[in-house]
Structure formats: C-alpha cells, structure tokens
Structure 1
C-alpha cells in the first residue's frame, strides 16, 4: 500500500543529518537553466552520433576516391568490392565500439555511461555480420575471378601471412558477441564473461596487420592509411588513457581504504571508505564508480556500484547487495584494504534535469543512487516526491536516511511494501492496483517532472512503460537498472 515511509532498522549515515544546501535561484529560473543545459546535451549527442556514422562514410569515401576502386570487372569484381566495403565499415564500427567502452568523460556527460555501453552492445551483432560478409564476399569474389572456387581460394588465402591473424580476430570477436547474448550471459559467471569480453581488444590488435597490409586498399602514402592509423591511435589511446592511466592516477592520489563493513540487512552491507580529498572526485549524487578491492579474494573482480552517500573530504560510502559470489565476498573485506576506483560515472544526477519538479522511484537496492541524488539536490518544499518500494520489511535499505533527507527538504515520501501484482504486469502491489494507484496518483505533477527510476530491470521497465503511456517525454525519464 501507499503510506508514509517507516524508519528502517539501522543507524543513518552521518551525511544524512546535515542540512541540505539552500536553493540558489528561483524555481522558474532553475527550470529554464535546466532546459538550456538539456538542449545543449541533446545537440552535443546528435553531433557525436553523426560523427560516429560519418567516420564510416569517410572510410568508404576514401576508398572510393583511391585509384582502382572503380575498376570493377564482372561478378568477381562486384563481390570483391562489396567485401571491401563491408570490411571497412565493420572495422570503423569496431573502433567506435572501443571508444564507447573507453569511459570517456565527454561521452559520460552527454549520454551517460550506461547509454554509451548500451549502444556499444547494440553494435556487436551488426559488426559481426559485416565481418562475416567481408570474409565470405572476398573469398567468393577472388574465387570467382580466378575460377578456383571458394574452398581452393580459402586455402590459398591462408598462405598469406596476415590472413590467419584476420581469421583469429574474427573468431575472437565471434566469441565476444556470443558471450554477450542475454541467454548466454545469464549462465556465465560475471568473472568469466568479463575475461571473455576483454578478447575484443585482442581481436582488434591481431587484425591490425591485416588492415595495414591490404594492398592497394591501404597502400603506403595514401590518405586511407593515414586515416586508419589515426583512427586506431585515437581509439586505443582513449582506452589506455581512461580505462588504465586515469584510474591509476585517481587511485594513487586519493589513497582509498576500507574503514568498516556494516551489515544493514540480510545480504546487504555498507562499505565505509576513507581517503584523501574525496570531495575532489567530483561525485554527483546518483553516480557510480567501478570499484576494485585489493584483497586476496576480490582483487580480480571489478564492481560497478553507486555511491550511497555523497563523499565528504575524507569519507565515502557504497552499499552493496549480494547478487553473486563476487559481491558476497565484499561482506568479508577487512579494514585497511586498498581500493581502486574508476569514475565517477553516470547521468542519473540532478545535472540531467530539465523539468521544474522531481519524481524519484526506487526499489530494493535501487535506493542507493536515489538517496544520494536526494542528498545532493537543491530542493524547495514540494518540489520533489519520492516513492520507495520493497517486497517486505527486510528490503527497506536506507529508508530511514531517505526519510530524514525528505523531511529536511520538504519532500513528500511514500512507501509501497508487498509483492508485485500477479493479476497483470504492474510495478505496484495487488492491493494498490485494486485501490487504483498509478504513477499519476502518486506524482500529481508527473508531467511537469523529471522521473528517476532505479531497481530490478523488469520492475523498472514497467514503471517507465507507465510513465511513457502517461505522456512523460523520453528525455525526462532517467532509468538506472540493477540486477534482480
């Protein structure tokens, strides 16, 4: 049922008791500023999207402009040229995928890291199909032109030094794409999937000799060769910089250590951290980091976990629910354990707001970014409404802290406790469905609000679906998903 949230059975974090920052500008002015910022982000996103697809067009255009690219003779020539185009587009999109996965701050500020990774994954299958078409069309084209047939031509191609490496790269990429299929990934331990996914870097590297030895396509002294070398340098350079160099600098600069591990519910712990100048990390409420804990049982597993409180000068906190063997080991961390951090990442923050009002919906461990977002947002009485959802009393993680923050800012807070309805697909309980509870009844100003939703994917998808049907614009829906 919908009711005022009850306090959870654990002590609030110290930051929950501090007074929120006073609002610095009138509500209409703040809304106009947010709309302007949103328009700028949308324009930047459109430009980056155009640039990504234009890079593939440039690759093909440079080939078309090269000597001999128009000298098509017979069916074999057409097949060969089609294979070349497929390979060029596929390789360019592979490099785009690497950039999307490099955790570049500009992309995170414009799209959010979760959106960048979603696009990265969506390109996997098209790239694989293009690579398979590249190999098949070239083999058929060469075989047709020489009259040798595809089998004999394949054997002949393997006598070329770079072709076996190209096939190895294709095989590695195939393994990566197959492991990312939802039905397959669901049965793989995260650690295994993560190691397999790293093969994408190996696939790019082993295919590089084939790219640079592709005869007239990438001949010495051509603009094509300059383009591809520059594209490889930029893509791999961004990966090296933002996946390795910057996190190393952050880790050495801030010297983060585990202070204590606090159980707050069955299977849920808060990891309290200390460090130097942690407020200079630039964390916004709602963001997450990728954490690596340097103990004997956890050093090889990186954990993407939201901050459950905005860091202070020398303290930070994350709250983790046990979702597998890796996260379960965090409950056994010892004080003093060194910690590496990549981030902060994510647009699940006040920065992404464009509307005058704020609607926050959280289920289970999804409370962590919502609680931090509420803490970090300048709010006037009545500006925000929060709905917390839990199956039972054991899932009321950080509810007491959230209730205190809501009371301090004049935020309306509701709680919904109980199993989801079985009579039809809904994010609400059966009792609330009978009472006619909807998003619009909980959030009367929903159409004037930015909606932030965090929780298990199936549940949060239902909340987002109802919001869309109610007429909430897509750019005002901000969704962060957690495993079930």
Structure 2
C-alpha cells in the first residue's frame, strides 16, 4: 500500500449529464406518444372497436420501432451520457414492447375484420394479405420480429453463439423497412392528413438517419481521418498484452479515459472480428493504448500482430468517464483485467483518489507497477487486495476500513460481473448514493 498526504480537493461537477440525456429521451418519447394519439384521433374511428384498437397498437408499435433505432444508433452524445450498456438494456425492453404491441395490432385487426363474417381471424389475415397492398409485408415483418424476440430470451441467448444471434438481429432492419412500407400503404394517418404523413416521414427519417450516421458515417469518417495503425505490441504477462495505436490528428479524436473502442485489426484472418477493449491509458493526442487478456483465439492472437498493421476502430464508446463525477474525491475499484479503464481514469482524474485492485494472486496484478508509480505521482492511495473469492475481501467492513469516507466519494468500478454485483451490493449497504456509483458493462446494442 502506498499512502501519501492528500492534495487539495477539486470542486465537484455540478452538471448531471446522465440525467439530462435520460430526461431528454423520455421527453422526446412522451411528446411523440401524444402526437401519435392526436393524429390517430383526427383520422376518425370509422371501424369497430377492435379494429380501432388494432390500429392504435400498430401506430405505437411503429413509434417504438423508430425509438429502438435511436437506441442502437450509437450516437456519441447519447452514448457518452448514458452508456452503451444502459442503452442496450433499454433496447432489450423496447424490443419486447415492440413484439407485444405488434402482436396486439395483428390480433385486434384480425378479430375486428372477422367480426360479422363466416371467415375466422386466420382466414381474415390470409384474405387481407392476398387482397390489400402492404398487408403481406406486415405479416412477414411480424414473423421476423417474433423470431428476433424468441432468440432474445435469456434461455435462447445462452444456447446461441453471439455471431448467430447478431446475424438474426440484422433481419430487424428488414422488418423495419417492411413495416414502413405497410404503414405508408394502408395506414389511415397517411391517407387522412398531410400533416400526419409529414410527421411519420420525419420520424422514420430521423430514426434511420441516426443509424446511418452513428453506425456507418461516423466510423468511416473517423477511420479515414485518423488512419489507425499498430505502433507497438508489448506483452504485460503470459496472457496479457498491450497494443499501442498511432494515427493522424489523434488530438482531434474525442476519446476519454474509461472509454472503449471496437477494434478490428485488418489482418487476413482477423479483419472480420471486432472486439471491445478499453483504453488502458488516458489519450495523450499521440497514441492510444489497449490492454487485453487472452480469453479466446482473437484476443490470444493480438501478441502476434505486426507493427504497422492497419486498424479499423469504432468509437469511442462508453459513459465510464470523469464526465459523470459528482464529488471532488473518488474511489477506483478494479478486478482483474478490469484495471485497464481504472488505470486510465486515475491518470485523468483530479482530486484525491483511493485505488483498490482486487486479484487472486500477485501475479495476476496486471499493470500494477504502472498503477503504483501513477498513484505516487498523483498522491493517491493504492491497495492491492489478493486472495480467494471467499471470504469477501471487499465486504462493507473491509471497504470502510480502506476508505472511511467512501459515502462522500465517487466510486468507479470495473471487473468481472460476479465481483461487480457483489461490490455494488456492498456499496448500497454502506449508503453510497446511486448517483455516486459509476460502472459499465461491455454490452453492444444491436
């Protein structure tokens, strides 16, 4: 442990970017919910109650699809303030909302049009698909959404390879296009009002435009501008390696300590794989550094990269940054290779910091020498905690012993999921406010 005199405290951050972004998203969604209701009412209720309900569910299903696109667009403004893991969580629940609203749309429409006829609801759907423009496309779109919803369940995710799951999810874009053309062809709001028609075209233009901007235009533009290449490959241990990336105008790249990129190394056998790795050093305008542990063939092959290898990087992503600080002093808790963003954050953070590094053995303490020197230079306290998982070395009493004023500090946490869950529970027990607890999991929306 290294202990030094605390430097003067820095002023806390007054702005709550996460709250601003979250409130903005909710406000946009609420405003559109009201707008849809108004346009729906203006179109009139010429059919029976079941058909009316079916049309309303269809409109809100379409609105949720547009909102879903916004969540997966990876727009920098939202990502830096909310974080990709939380956007992914919202994306998942919005997806289930789409599934149930569109199923309700189909059921109410089928029973509504079947009312008073000898043809059942299934026969009604078949007749509509054969005789009404756009209905067949809607049936196909609903089928795709049902399949995507099925493979999104936890039981299915555990049984599918990520590549398979991701490939199936790409068909969601096909469903979106089919749903748009269905809405244009038979949607009453399109046929009854030019204002409503303009509104819906605007909604879909913004949603699809956000996806194109965030998922294609920005990554392509940044890679053309910066021309990333491997500058050095440095083994840190038997199974951990650091990769130094250089390029042009890196001082113009809006990356911060704590963020991560999707790295695609353009070799013959790895160009198609993109892996999320955090920056393990604060960006200095000249190089970017990632540090990865061998967890599979892709990460194990990194130590064999050749100097000069071209790199396609998507990002920076993540809200695990000093942007969200609420207190002048902080606690940084790392577990295993989760030390990489923690080490970068320590380099950038001002004010007194306490760093707690949890590993099984001393040999597992990657970048520990760097942490020790950095802590000494910044006047931070560093605790290396080793030993088996049980007993809990980061239990509330242990945390309080190392950081008596932990409830008055920001806490940044990164490590294996079981450790993070346990520490988060311990922090709640110690009364650390939720707003002062910062963590992020590697979850990729869409």
TM-score, normalised with respect to structure 2: 0.92
Counterpart in the other structure of 1:476 = 436
* Paired residues of 2:331 and 2:355 also in contact (CA < 8 A): yes
* 1:151-185, Cα deviation, whole Å (9 max, x unpaired): 22122022034222212222222333333333322
> Equivalents in 1 of 2:233, 2:152: separation in Å?
33
Cα 1:85–1:386 change in 2 (3 A) is: same
* Paired residues of 2:234 and 2:242 also in contact (CA < 8 A): yes
Counterpart in the other structure of 1:319 = 291
SS at match of 1:438: helix
Q: How many angstroms does 1:440 deviate by?
A: 2.0
Counterpart in the other structure of 1:17 = none
> How many residues in Structure 1 have an aligned counterpart in Structure 2?
438
* 1:177-233, Cα deviation, whole Å (9 max, x unpaired): 333333322333332222222222222112221011124332165322211111110
* Paired residues of 2:334 and 2:413 also in contact (CA < 8 A): yes
Counterpart in the other structure of 2:26 = 49
The 5 Å alignment of 1:78-117 reads 78-117=49-88
SS at match of 2:308: coil
Is 1:27–2:9 an aligned residue pair? Answer: yes
Q: Tell me which moved more, 474-483 or 348-357.
A: 474-483
What are the ranges of 5 or more consecutive residues in structure 2 without an aligned counterpart? none
Counterpart in the other structure of 2:105 = 134
Is 1:457–2:417 an aligned residue pair? Answer: yes
* Paired residues of 2:36 and 2:59 also in contact (CA < 8 A): yes
Cα 1:162–1:354 change in 2 (3 A) is: same
Counterpart in the other structure of 1:64 = 41
Counterpart in the other structure of 2:307 = 335
* Paired residues of 1:251 and 1:340 also in contact (CA < 8 A): yes
Is 1:151–2:122 an aligned residue pair? Answer: yes
Is 1:393–2:362 an aligned residue pair? Answer: yes
> Equivalents in 2 of 1:482, 1:392: separation in Å?
25
Q: How many angstroms does 1:135 deviate by?
A: 1.1
* 1:305-329, Cα deviation, whole Å (9 max, x unpaired): 2111123333211111233344334
SS at match of 1:472: coil
Counterpart in the other structure of 1:13 = none
* Paired residues of 2:319 and 2:440 also in contact (CA < 8 A): no
> Equivalents in 1 of 2:238, 2:120: separation in Å?
65
The 5 Å alignment of 1:278-297 reads 278-297=250-269
* Paired residues of 1:453 and 1:478 also in contact (CA < 8 A): yes
Cα 1:481–1:151 change in 2 (3 A) is: closer
SS at match of 2:439: strand
> Equivalents in 1 of 2:299, 2:152: separation in Å?
21
> Equivalents in 2 of 1:166, 1:259: separation in Å?
51
SS at match of 1:158: helix
SS at match of 1:405: helix
> Equivalents in 1 of 2:52, 2:262: separation in Å?
43
> Equivalents in 2 of 1:324, 1:164: separation in Å?
44
> Equivalents in 2 of 1:175, 1:320: separation in Å?
35
2:208 to 227, 231, 236: 236
The 5 Å alignment of 1:207-246 reads 207-219=179-191, 221-246=193-218
* Paired residues of 1:390 and 1:418 also in contact (CA < 8 A): yes
Q: How many angstroms does 1:482 deviate by?
A: 5.3
> Equivalents in 1 of 2:175, 2:253: separation in Å?
34
Q: How many angstroms does 1:128 deviate by?
A: 0.8
Taking only aligned residues, the RMSD between alpha carbons, in angstroms, comes to 2.2
> Equivalents in 2 of 1:126, 1:114: separation in Å?
19
1:412 to 368, 372, 381: 381
Counterpart in the other structure of 1:37 = 15
> Equivalents in 2 of 1:199, 1:320: separation in Å?
32
The 5 Å alignment of 1:259-278 reads 259-278=231-250
Q: How many angstroms does 1:136 deviate by?
A: 1.4
Counterpart in the other structure of 1:250 = 222
* Paired residues of 2:83 and 2:440 also in contact (CA < 8 A): no
Is 1:120–2:91 an aligned residue pair? Answer: yes
Cα 1:181–1:265 change in 2 (3 A) is: farther
* 1:325-382, Cα deviation, whole Å (9 max, x unpaired): 4433434432222111222122211111011210111101111110000011223xxx
Q: How many angstroms does 1:118 deviate by?
A: 1.9
> Equivalents in 1 of 2:307, 2:192: separation in Å?
57
What are the ranges of 5 or more consecutive residues in structure 1 without an aligned counterpart? 6-22, 423-427
Cα 1:149–1:389 change in 2 (3 A) is: same
* Paired residues of 1:291 and 1:339 also in contact (CA < 8 A): yes
* 1:57-77, Cα deviation, whole Å (9 max, x unpaired): 3212211122x22x45xxxx2
The 5 Å alignment of 1:194-205 reads 194-205=166-177
SS at match of 1:300: coil
SS at match of 2:284: coil
SS at match of 2:242: strand
Counterpart in the other structure of 2:403 = 443
* 1:222-266, Cα deviation, whole Å (9 max, x unpaired): 322211111110011011111111111110111101123333234
